[in-house]
Homo-oligomer: A and B are copies of this chain.
Amino acid sequence: MTVTTEALATTDLEFARQLGQQLRVDSIRCSTAAGSGHPTSSMSAADLIAVLVTRYLQYDWNKPKDPNNDHLIFSKGHASPLVYAMFKAVGAITDTELMTYRKFGSRLQGHPTPAIPWVDVATGSLGQGLPISVGVAMAGQKLDKLPYHVWVLCGDSELAEGSIWEAFDKAGFYQLANLTAILDINRLGQRGETEYGWTLDTYRRRVEAFGCFPIVIDGHDITAIDRAYGTALSATGKPTVIIAKTIKGKGFSEIENKDGWHGKALPPDMAERAIKELGGIRHLKVKTAKPESGQPAIKHTDAPVTLPTYTKEDKVATRKAYGDALLALGAIPDVVAMDAEVSNSTHTDEFAKAYPDRFFEIYIAEQMLVSTAVGMSVRGYRPFASTFAAFFARAYDFIRMAGISEANIRLVGSHAGVEIGQDGPSQMALEDLASMRAIHTST
């Protein structure tokens, strides 16, 4: 059975409703074909994504590098069937390619990576997509000064990660009104109920206390979703967090809101029944709105740099030399720097004073420090992130994932080895050579 809705404009709410069903069906189809994957985690968020791509997202799928495109990051990277089903709906990939999901050699991996041109960063280690999105939004508001919007879909289990709260904190602190986080509160994690289940008010109070603007909705009410996105784009002056109550496995009554279906493809017979209940296979095509054209406020060009020089006799602390060199590199317009409240030690403060608009104080939040660098690299900036070398250990998982993203970032740690002496081992980077060399694409 194939449903068509030719009579509907693709921006109609009814079209979005139909598209939500298509996204569910396609999430089931590709994961059942693969024999693994997370269809139920995709089905809970299908309506949220359907409304977004039909009526709000501004993106030219033929020009993923267009600097005016919105960004859409799946912090819940395991909802990759939904990502790829969306790519099919917007015409970026074919239905045939969709069905290569998780197969050896396919670019449609189990968790999305930038091997695909419409994916900004690799996700799959939870709690990272949101912090990176904050970095992208900071670039949009403070550097590019372009009106693109950053949308990020989060799961509820990942809200237990501290990095999520580092991200909400920085989003609130920097008043990133160009950021909307969509929380898919489907109540069920991998092994049962999440920490707070459907207690949406707990999330609302936390998000609000962290300086964001919360909107609580039924994540399957197309009209409510539509209204929430509209509000998010209005001038709230704050980042918006849409807290959407959803149902895991939504649309297939046999598994809706049932435990034991996380990360499991439906067996073929169940998939058949599910597709039938969801109204059959569709091939609706969405015409995503294209962004208006504009140019980033900062040019991505090279510029002459006069690096400091030293004689053999000069006794210069390596961190001072770093500060001087970074200051010199500031001549390049898209060099940016960020630091975790130790810029007077790392000497990044020299750059901060000379180029305050391109310096970002992240305070003592190293996960967010690295995420900011990754987010800005998504926008083509050349980020230099600095703190004590020992404290990059705090962001090790973020560095690992940045390696998978092949993000072009520079991490600069001061106080290497035992040189900090009296301060003791907690301040000494003793493990960094071993740990950092193990990271894919690190140099």
Q: Which residues of A contact B (CB under 8 A)?
A: 34, 36-37, 77, 102, 109-111, 113, 122-127, 157-158, 160-166, 169, 173, 189-191, 194-195, 202, 205-206, 208-210, 341-345, 349, 362-368, 390-391, 393-394, 396-397, 400-401, 404, 422-427, 430-431, 433-435, 437-440
Contacts and interface: CB of A to CB of B under 8 A. Distances in A.
Contacts of A430: 438, 440
A440 B425 contact: yes
Contact of A434 (B366, B394, B437): B437
B363 A195 contact: yes
Mostly, the A contact residues are helix
Contact of A364 (B37, B161, B364): B161
B190 A422 contact: no
A427 B111 contact: yes
A393 B344 CA distance: 28
26 contacts: A34-B422, A110-B424, A111-B426, A113-B425, A122-B425, A124-B427, A125-B391, A125-B393, A125-B394, A125-B427, A160-B169, A160-B365, A162-B164, A162-B166, A189-B364, A191-B345, A194-B341, A206-B206, A208-B209, A393-B400, A396-B396, A401-B426, A404-B425, A430-B440, A434-B434, A435-B438
Contacts of A189: 341, 363-364
Given A34-B422, A422-B110, A425-B440, A194 B161 contact: no
Contacts of A391: 125, 397
A367 B349 CA distance: 30
Nearest to A159: B364
A353 to B, nearest CB: 12
A200 to B, nearest CB: 13
Given A123-B426, A125-B394, A342-B190, A166 B160 contact: yes
Given A162-B163, A191-B345, 10 more contacts: A36-B422, A109-B424, A110-B422, A113-B425, A124-B424, A157-B363, A190-B344, A191-B343, A191-B344, A434-B434
A341 B190 contact: yes
